[in-house]
């Protein structure tokens, strides 16, 4: 077997923690968030996530999100490609963003046998753990089939769930039907959702926040032995810390707490809390 140097590119929706971006030399293509007549890159510089979520409830109309510019995507991808024998790119689902198509066009002039483009199917660390798993196996083996198998296994063994403060942001952004959103608002339901194959899927509709948080704990525990865990929130450190405490006995020592990317948070709204857990089963 020939050892290949395999590189990774993803987009900012993947929420790969900065420590892991640095460790595995992952390149991140930032997505745009548009509000106040301006466009901002989700690169940690133009947009500060804490400030953005404080501002979000005051915005009318709701901010919008946009795919990376073709030129920026091409520049990042081509620069990364020059450093590796093979490039693996994992993105936000096609159903949720034009980002996949922008990155597809950005690699058209590269050798097809040296680039693999993957629709990540999920959001946040639902994508990010695929990237990290692939990078780990690439460093261990330098074997592309093993890397692609690891990514597929990570996708199949990652559980993502989030409790939203309400359905209004999903309704306003068009990510959920008016009928479903109206029901949730009327009954003051705290929805728990996931994203599967690019679709927002309800997991539970619970009357109180405390009961919804308890449901999240049960869902995380149902994963079994956890290899990688991220506690996710949109400016909700209090509930994120509570969830981490509830899972302390099963959480890996390097569990991450992530204020999720604005491209996702714009559609779910502030005060959400959830998790992305990668089961140890992905290693088979």
Residue pLDDT, tens place only, 58-107: 998 989 999 999 999 999 999 999 999 999 999 999 998 999 999 999 99
Residues 50 and 259: beta-carbon distance below 8 Å: yes
Q: What is the mean pLDDT of residues 175-183?
A: 47
Residue 245 has pLDDT above 60, yes or no: yes
209: preceding bond cis by omega (within 30 degrees)? no
Q: Give the whole-angstrom CA distance, residue 219 versus residue 206.
A: 14
What was the pLDDT predicted at 179? Answer: 41
What was the pLDDT predicted at 89? Answer: 98
Give the whole-number percent of the chain exceeding pLDDT 70. 94
What was the pLDDT predicted at 174? Answer: 59
Give the Å distances, CA to CA, from 26 to 140, 167, 201, 214, 225: 16, 33, 29, 34, 26
Domain boundaries, the chain: 6-156, 158-283
CATH of 6-156, picked from 3.10.50.40, 3.40.50.10470, 3.40.50.10170, 3.60.20.10, is: 3.40.50.10170
Give the whole-number percent of the chain exceeding pLDDT 90. 79
* Three-state DSSP class for residue 139: helix
Work out the mean pLDDT of the chain and round it to a whole number: 92
Residues 16 and 98: beta-carbon distance below 8 Å: no
Read off the pLDDT band of 181 (50, 70, 90). Answer: very low
Q: Give the whole-angstrom CA distance, residue 29 versus residue 228.
A: 23
Residue 247 has pLDDT above 90, yes or no: yes
Tokens of 192: 């728990």
Q: What is the mean pLDDT of residues 234-250?
A: 98
Three-point CA angle 122, 157, 29, nearest 5°: 35
Read off the pLDDT band of 176 (50, 70, 90). Answer: low
By DSSP bridging, strand 115-119 and strand 32-35 are unpaired
Domain 158-283 has CATH 3.60.15.10: no
Residue 178 has pLDDT above 60, yes or no: no
- The pTM (predicted TM-score) of the whole model is 0.94
Q: What is the mean pLDDT of residues 250-254?
A: 97
């Amino acid at each position: 077997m020939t050892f290949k140097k395999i590189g990774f590119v993803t987009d900012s929706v993947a929420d790969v923690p900065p420590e892991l971006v640095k460790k595995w030399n992952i390149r991140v293509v930032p997505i745009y968030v548009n509000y106040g007549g301006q466009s901002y890159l989700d690169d940690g510089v133009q947009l500060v996530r804490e400030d953005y979520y404080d501002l979000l409830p005051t915005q009318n109309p709701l901010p919008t999100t946009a795919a990376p510019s073709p030129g920026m995507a091409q520049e990042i991808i081509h620069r990364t490609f020059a450093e590796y024998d093979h490039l693996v790119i994992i993105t936000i689902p096609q159903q949720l963003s034009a980002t996949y198509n922008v990155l597809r066009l950005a690699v058209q002039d590269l050798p097809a046998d040296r680039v693999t483009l993957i629709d990540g199917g999920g959001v946040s660390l639902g994508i990010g753990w695929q990237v990290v798993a692939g990078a780990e196996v690439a460093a261990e083996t330098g074997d592309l089939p093993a890397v692609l198998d690891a990514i597929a296994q990570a996708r199949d063994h990652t559980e993502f769930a989030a409790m939203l403060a309400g359905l209004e942001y999903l309704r306003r952004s068009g990510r959920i039907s008016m009928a479903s959103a109206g029901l949730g608002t009327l009954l003051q339901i705290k929805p728990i959702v996931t994203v599967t194959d690019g679709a927002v899927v309800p997991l539970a509709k619970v009357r109180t926040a405390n009961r919804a948080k308890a449901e999240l704990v049960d869902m995380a525990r149902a994963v079994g032995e956890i290899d990688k865990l991220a506690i996710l929130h949109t400016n909700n450190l209090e509930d994120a810390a509570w969830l981490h405490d509830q899972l302390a006995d099963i959480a890996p020592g390097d569990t991450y707490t992530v204020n999720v990317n604005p491209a996702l948070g714009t559609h779910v709204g502030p005060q959400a809390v959830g998790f992305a857990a990668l089961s140890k089963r992905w290693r088979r």
